[in-house]
Amino acid sequence: MKLTRVLEVVKKNKYRPNFHFTPPQNWMNDPNGLVFHEGAYHLFYQHNPFENKWGHMSWGHAVSKDLIHWKHLPVAIQEDETDMIFSGSVVVDWKNTTGIGDCKIIPLIAIYTGHRKIDGQQYQCLAYSIDDGRTWCKYKENPILDINSKNFRDPKVFWFDKQNKWIMLVALPVEKKISIYSSHNLIDWNHLSYFKSSINVEGNWECPDLFPLKLNARTTKWILTLSIIKGGITGGSGMIYFIGDFDGDSFVEIGDELRTPNWIDYGADFYAAVSYSDIPSRDGRRIWLGWMNNWNYADNAPTSPWRGMLSIPRELSLRSIDENIKLIQKPIVELNKLHKREFSTNKFSITEINDKLSGSNNSSSPFELLVEFEPNNSKDFGVSIKNGIGEGISCGYSMDTSIVNLDRTNSGDAEFSEKFNAIHSAPLKLKNGKLLLHLFIDASSIEIFCNDGEVVLSDLIFPNGEINLVELYSDSNSLRINIFSIWEIQNI
Name the residue type at position 116. R
Give the pLDDT of residue 3. 40
Catalytic (active site) residue 30: yes
Residue 333 forms beta bridges with which residues?
Answer: none
One of 30, 83, 93, 209 is an active-site residue; which one?
30
Separation in Å, CA 336 to CA 78, 312, 455, 458: 35, 12, 21, 19
Domains, the chain, with CATH or none: 25-311 (2.115.10.20), 336-489 (2.60.120.560)
Give the pLDDT of residue 4. 44
Q: What's the N-to-C CA distance of the chain in angstroms?
A: 23
**Angle (CA) 416 13 276, round 5°:** 85
Residue-level pLDDT, tens digit, the chain, 492 residues: 444 443 344 455 789 999 999 999 999 999 999 999 999 999 999 999 999 999 999 999 999 999 999 999 999 999 999 999 999 999 999 999 999 987 788 999 999 999 999 999 999 999 999 999 999 999 999 999 999 999 999 999 999 999 999 999 999 999 999 999 999 999 999 999 999 987 888 889 999 999 999 999 899 999 999 999 988 999 889 999 999 999 999 999 987 555 789 999 999 999 999 999 999 999 999 999 999 999 999 999 999 999 999 999 999 999 999 889 999 999 999 999 999 888 888 778 899 999 888 866 555 679 999 999 999 999 999 999 999 999 999 999 999 999 999 999 999 999 999 999 999 999 999 999 999 999 999 999 999 999 999 999 999 999 999 898 999 999 999 999 999 999 999 988
E-assigned strand segments in 308-391: 314-321, 324-331, 339-344, 367-374, 380-386
Q: What distance in Å separates the CA atoms of residue 224 and residue 132, rounded to the nearest whole number?
A: 29
**Angle (CA) 158 161 164, round 5°:** 95
Give the pLDDT of residue 235. 85
Give the pLDDT of residue 258. 53
